[in-house]
Amino acid sequence: MSDPVVSPAVSVGKVALRSPLIIASGTWPHEQDYWKDPRCSFVGAACTKALTLHPREGNPGTRLWETPCGLLNSIGLQNPGIDVFLGEDLPKISSGDIGVIANVAMEAAEETAEVLQRLSLYDHLLLAVELNISCPNVDAGGMAWGADPVMAAKAVELARHHWEGPLWVKLTPQCVNIRDVATAAEAAGADALVVANTWLGMAIDPLSERPVFSRRFAGLSGPAIFPLALRLVWEVSSAVQIPVIGCGGISRTEDVLSMMLAGASAVAIGTAHFTELSCFRSIGRELLEHLAAKGYSSPMDLIGKGKEEHGRIP
């Protein structure tokens, strides 16, 4: 018998990707050379930096701080604003082979609605919108939209009203019960869920004896959070019927396999490519080798297979 022909292509709902490897939001420059780099031949899509209605300068002071097994970041949603993105960045980055997913920061409802309305005029250049509901709701005392199922549903309903294309919702781990938030987002019209954003952490500089970051707390990413993200992917994919994209600490082929076995249809990789840009190529090749050795024809054969003896979480 001949070896099976393995295709890396996957589908996340109606979104077709040439591979399950996605570049996570906030980690990839809006520069044409990066989006056409041959080392990204196994990348299925890339998320933009968070987009807001008006330009954002970001947080002052230190923005990145390495930890023994990860990275703390406090960028502050720095971006040039939606008009500059649409007029200058999108034409450049959409001209290559990597599909574009627009990450939209869910802040004030009216501003987010305006961003989505403007994006809808360019929907032919976008695979999907990724709605980041980890942002604070400035109209409700600053609590993150994704911290509460009711607020999460309102955010998704607003986005669904102004954006007709595929809508992915990026969840925050900073919530009481992520399964409740996930099911609320699904009921409100989300087409897929990205699980999850960074965990809040902190660093204090022993020399200055002060917090490293101006906003004190920062988002932790990198290998340290992988087991935490994996658990959330298992829980969320057991609670909803829509696809889940695993995100958090993925740096090896084994991590991709684990995420998909736990129920992810694709994965988003961010911090890992800061140290090794060719990680997408090496992970992609090793993934195909693993699938062929196991007799699979597609990464989609793995989705949720790790749950077969466990069933749905009660």
- Among 135, 175, 247, 279, which one carries the catalytic annotation? 135
Structure tokens given for 137: 């709701």
Do the Cβ atoms of 237 and 186 come closer than 8 Å?
no
> What's the average model confidence in pLDDT over 30-39?
89
The CA distance from 21 to 45, in Å, is 7
| Domain boundaries of the chain, sorted by first residue | 10-307
> What's the average model confidence in pLDDT over 274-292?
95
Establish whether the linkage from the previous residue to 196 is cis, with ω within 30° of 0.
yes
Q: What is the pTM of this model?
A: 0.95
Structure tokens given for 308: 């077969």
Q: What is the pLDDT of residue 135?
A: 80
Residue 277 has pLDDT above 90, yes or no: no
Q: Is 135 noted as a catalytic residue in this protein?
A: yes
End-to-end CA distance of the chain: 42
Q: Mean pLDDT over all residues of the chain? A: 94
**Look-up of token digits 């041959």:** 38
- pLDDT, tens digit (0-9, with 9 covering 90-100), for 145-199: 999 999 999 999 999 999 999 999 999 999 999 999 999 999 999 999 999 999 9
Q: How confident is the model at residue 139 (pLDDT cuts 50, 70, 90)?
A: low
Q: How confident is the model at residue 309 (pLDDT cuts 50, 70, 90)?
A: confident
The CA distance from 237 to 249, in Å, is 18
Q: What is the pLDDT of residue 295?
A: 96
Superfamily of segment(s) 10-307: Aldolase class I (3.20.20.70)
> What's the average model confidence in pLDDT over 13-31?
96
Structure tokens given for 278: 């060719």
